[in-house]
A and B are shown apart, each in its own frame.
Chain A
């Protein structure tokens, strides 16, 4: 019953987000700050992870192709498919659930504990709109981060392929271009938008409705990471079933 109550509260929170909007001059600054914190601040770690995981995907693929009849272009093809379809949108989002999600939960949770949210409410400000809506708008730029992850993942694969001596650059690039399906990009970005919504709202929910003190802020961050990851995995399954099957 508690789960149903939490899900209901989550959807009521989504509705409340759009009521009594904050003044645009204030909201504009909040959105820019959240873009800086959530999007710009994530680019470094995303670029680093994407580049090296792209390289690892390439090495693993190359090491598992021991049949001389299989063309070397398959390394580039497999790297592209893995990164574009799953690694960049889905697994990067799970990593972001840890980075961005715990940041959102702990920052809103700390505001709850230190009565800052009560201070907003007493002033007659819709605290959900003030705190969560800018994060939702900022996360609309999340596909930009995933584009970088896609690009650098493939570049990382190319580098690993060339410097590891698994195939020539030509073979890898030919593989990348082989049987390219533009809809796969659409599919990846539809998923990314859904994950962005989840990444902004589930951690906000856990921070906003938390009760207790500093210890509970930590617990809320962990719970938020778990539930955001679960939601991403389930949405990933459903989106794949609906869009690709």
Chain B
């Protein structure tokens, strides 16, 4: 479980996060949603320790991240898996080597054992035939799946995903969403996903936090987001014509 208390972050005069508190539960997919510029990415980077923050605290299973020594921070980071928006695969390594990378850095496994483990994980993300390809030879969807495989290969306790569906077609996006959801439940890990894709919200939103102008504007789940009266959330959720029409149809049915 990850607990965030009263998090503040500024860049110069721009106050980006204005006191956010949240709890991200174990074994659940926790979604952070909001418009572009709402502070989602900055919030995620604060959670990951990539940005320092001025005020507040972040606890990973009771341990305050900022209070840890450099060595303990390093150990903690070895328990974190991250799927970046652009996949962030290492260009010079093959897909298999990319997946093996965390094992090479943090375990004492023999090369064959690492290869076996990588291939098991690649099979889990349906990429068993792609291990010798270079990242540049893989499609966007494949790259995302490799990034997921790399993130989970070392059995992380926490999985972070920054817009895992961006740039993907709707069908592939659903495959990626379901994969993350299944992995979260199978391994009982704490997953935090940064997204503005409403399909993801409908598919896998166990817990949802809505950010607006650096503040938490709403919190709920996929079951409650479509029933909320919060105008800020409804304005965001029904901003697309598709969802607008679905809502109109539901309202017609109810009336």
**Interface contact A118-B105, CB-CB below 8 Å:** no
**Interface contact A122-B105, CB-CB below 8 Å:** no
Within 8 A of B (CB), among A97-152: 110-111, 114-116, 118-119, 121-125
**Interface contact A124-B73, CB-CB below 8 Å:** yes
Cα distance A32–B50 in the bound complex, in angstroms:
30
Within 8 A of A (CB), among B124-171: 160
**Interface contact A123-B78, CB-CB below 8 Å:** yes
Among candidates B70, B91, B102, residue contacting A123 with C-beta atoms closer than 8 Å: B102
Cα distance A123–B92 in the bound complex, in angstroms:
18
Q: Does A26 contact B (CB under 8 A)?
A: yes
Among candidates B76, B84, B106, residue contacting A118 with C-beta atoms closer than 8 Å: B84
Within 8 A of B (CB), among A185-236: none
Q: Which residues of B contact A119 (CB under 8 A)?
A: 82, 84, 88, 90
**Interface contact A123-B105, CB-CB below 8 Å:** yes
Cα distance A116–B73 in the bound complex, in angstroms:
19
Main secondary structure, interface of B, reads: mixed
Q: Which residues of A contact B76 (CB under 8 A)?
A: 124
Shortest CB–CB separation between residue A54 and chain B, in angstroms? Answer: 36
Within 8 A of A (CB), among B56-106: 70, 73-78, 80, 82, 84-86, 88-92, 101-102, 104-106
Cα distance A114–B89 in the bound complex, in angstroms:
8
**Interface contact B77-A122, CB-CB below 8 Å:** yes
Q: Which residues of A contact B91 (CB under 8 A)?
A: 110-111, 114, 116
Shortest CB–CB separation between residue B50 and chain A, in angstroms? Answer: 6
Cα distance A110–B89 in the bound complex, in angstroms:
12
Cα distance A111–B92 in the bound complex, in angstroms:
11
Main secondary structure, interface of A, reads: helix
Q: Does A5 contact B (CB under 8 A)?
A: no
**Interface contact B74-A20, CB-CB below 8 Å:** yes
Cα distance A20–B70 in the bound complex, in angstroms:
9
User: Given A20-B74, A25-B104, A124-B76, are A114 and B50 neighbors across the interface (CB < 8 Å)?
Assistant: no
Within 8 A of A (CB), among B4-18: none
Q: Which residues of A contact B78 (CB under 8 A)?
A: 123-124
**Interface contact B105-A115, CB-CB below 8 Å:** no
Cα distance A33–B92 in the bound complex, in angstroms:
10
Kindly report which residue of chain B lies nearest to residue A110, judged by CB atoms.
B91
Shortest CB–CB separation between residue B229 and chain A, in angstroms? Answer: 38
**Interface contact B75-A116, CB-CB below 8 Å:** no
**Interface contact A122-B85, CB-CB below 8 Å:** no
Cα distance A26–B86 in the bound complex, in angstroms:
25
Q: Which residues of B contact A115 (CB under 8 A)?
A: 84-86, 88
Cα distance A123–B49 in the bound complex, in angstroms:
11
User: Given A26-B105, A115-B84, A116-B91, are A122 and B75 neighbors across the interface (CB < 8 Å)?
Assistant: no
User: Which residue, B70, B74, B88, has most C-beta atoms of chain A within 10 A?
Assistant: B88
Cα distance A121–B90 in the bound complex, in angstroms:
13
Cα distance A118–B73 in the bound complex, in angstroms:
15
Shortest CB–CB separation between residue A214 and chain B, in angstroms? Answer: 13
Q: Which residues of A contact B90 (CB under 8 A)?
A: 116, 119
**Interface contact B104-A122, CB-CB below 8 Å:** no
User: Given A123-B77, A124-B74, are A114 and B104 neighbors across the interface (CB < 8 Å)?
Assistant: no
**Interface contact A118-B102, CB-CB below 8 Å:** no
Chain A, residues 164-182, CB within 8 Å of chain B (1/0): the string is 0000000000000000000
Among candidates B50, B92, B101, residue contacting A122 with C-beta atoms closer than 8 Å: B50
List, sorted by A's number, 19 A–B pairs whose CB atoms are closer than 8 Å.
A33-B92, A110-B91, A114-B88, A115-B85, A115-B86, A116-B88, A116-B91, A118-B88, A119-B90, A122-B49, A122-B82, A123-B77, A123-B78, A123-B105, A123-B106, A124-B73, A124-B77, A124-B80, A125-B105
State the B residues within 8 Å of A (CB): 48-50, 70, 73-78, 80, 82, 84-86, 88-92, 101-102, 104-106, 160
State the A residues within 8 Å of B (CB): 20, 22-23, 25-26, 33, 110-111, 114-116, 118-119, 121-125
Question: Which 5 A-B pairs give the minimum distances between C-beta atoms?
Answer: A124-B77, A124-B74, A115-B88, A119-B88, A122-B82
Besides the known contacts A20-B74, A119-B84, A124-B80, 8 further A-B residue pairs in the complex with CB atoms under 8 A apart: A23-B104, A25-B104, A116-B91, A119-B88, A119-B90, A123-B82, A124-B73, A124-B75
